[in-house]
Amino acid sequence: MTKTLMIQGTSSGAGKTTLVTALCRIFADNGYSVAPFKSQNMSSYSYQGTDFEISRAQAIQSIAARANISPHMNPILLKPLGDYKSAVYVRGKFYKKFHADEYYKKFSLTRGLDIAKESLDYLRHRYDIVILEGAGSPAEINVQKYDIANMRMAKHCSSPVILVSDIDRGGTFASIVGTLELLEKEYKRLVKGYVINKFRGDIDILRPGFLMLKKKTKRPVLGTIPLLKFNIPDEDSLHANPKQVSFTKKYIKSLDKEIDHLSQVVRSSLNMKAIGDLLK
């Protein structure tokens, strides 16, 4: 029976994409067939297959998982056009141009949600493990009712959720508690623990905060990942000059080395036994 695990964040840029990439490689190296999944992604940069186009991030995660890149891994891609408009791609094919308001009100909760669930189910029938990535934060209460990238996906497959937070920005403990507090009860129960990302300093200084967080939320910190430097492309929504890449054999070989390095650091930074137990 296919297992699922979902990585959500307390904000954009918390490290969801990076963590999913590392986990895909870790579980693939443990002998599992693994697929990444992100129901909806907004990006100007994409991976172009022979007859489809998906987010570059999910393509890289697929490489990390040693899996064939599939349009089902990112069934909805939004390519920004400016003035709150996007070109929407459905399972790798251009579908329609939408204004944000029209997309939310006429597409996301109807056809969009159905498409996402169908693609997730497609992967669940073909892989041992599917690792889902959320988008932004699940607690954006102004657009929460239209959100098809976070808790609706976790609920659909009864997936445990790990919240990741960027401590380099500051306010990590408040962002974790606040995110949990703003979730509906049916979604809150899916959150099983936290990962602190981009940490630099003495880990012993953080430990009292872990204890307080566990006491307040009844959920543990599953690991602390150090601030890393690695040559894996970021999402362009957070960077003014995102790196463009060409998926040549030479580039994929160098990317593979970067993913191996990342996964080794993440593996040593997380409580992998506890994370493995979530998949049982």
pLDDT of residue 231: 79
The pLDDT value recorded for residue 235 is 65
| CA–CA distance, 259 with 63 (Å, rounded to integer) | 9
The pLDDT value given to residue 240: 44
pTM of the model: 0.95
Contact 103, 84 (CB under 8 A): no
Strand order in 221-226's β-sheet?
34-37, 129-133, 3-9, 161-166, 191-199, 221-226
Tens digit of each residue's pLDDT, the chain (280 residues): 799 999 999 999 899 999 999 999 999 999 999 999 999 999 888 999 989 999 999 999 999 999 999 999 999 999 999 999 999 999 999 999 999 999 999 999 999 999 999 999 999 999 999 999 999 999 999 889 999 999 999 999 999 999 999 999 889 999 999 999 999 999 999 999 999 999 998 899 999 999 999 999 999 999 999 998 877 876 655 444 566 788 999 999 999 999 999 999 999 999 999 999 999 8
> Looking at the chain, which runs of residues are DSSP E strands?
3-9, 34-37, 40-42, 46-48, 53-55, 76-82, 85-90, 93-99, 129-133, 161-166, 191-199, 221-226
Nearest-angstrom CA–CA distance, 98 and 84:
8
Kind of pairing between the strands at 93-99 and 85-90: antiparallel
By C-alpha distance, which of 84, 149, 79 is closest to 112?
149
DSSP β-ladder status, 53-55 and 76-82: unpaired
Burial 225-261 (b: 16+ CB within 10 A, else e): beebeeebbebbeeeeebeebebeeeeeeebeebbeb
Angle at 17 between CA 178 and CA 35, to 5 degrees: 120
The topology under which CATH files domain 3-278 is: Rossmann fold (3.40.50)
Kindly state the DSSP code that residue 243 receives in the 8-state scheme. P
Q: Can you tell me which residue has the tokens 């443990």?
A: 30
- In angstroms, the CA 42 to CA 22 distance is 21
Among residues 237, 220, 33, 243, the alpha carbon closest in space to that of 131 is found at 33
- The answer to whether the CB of 65 falls within 8 A of the CB of 36 is yes
List for the chain the helix, strand, coil content (%; round to 5): 45, 25, 30
pLDDT of residue 236: 52
Extents of the domains making up the chain? 3-278
- Interval 64-119: pLDDT, tens: 999 999 999 999 999 999 999 999 999 999 999 999 999 999 999 999 999 999 99
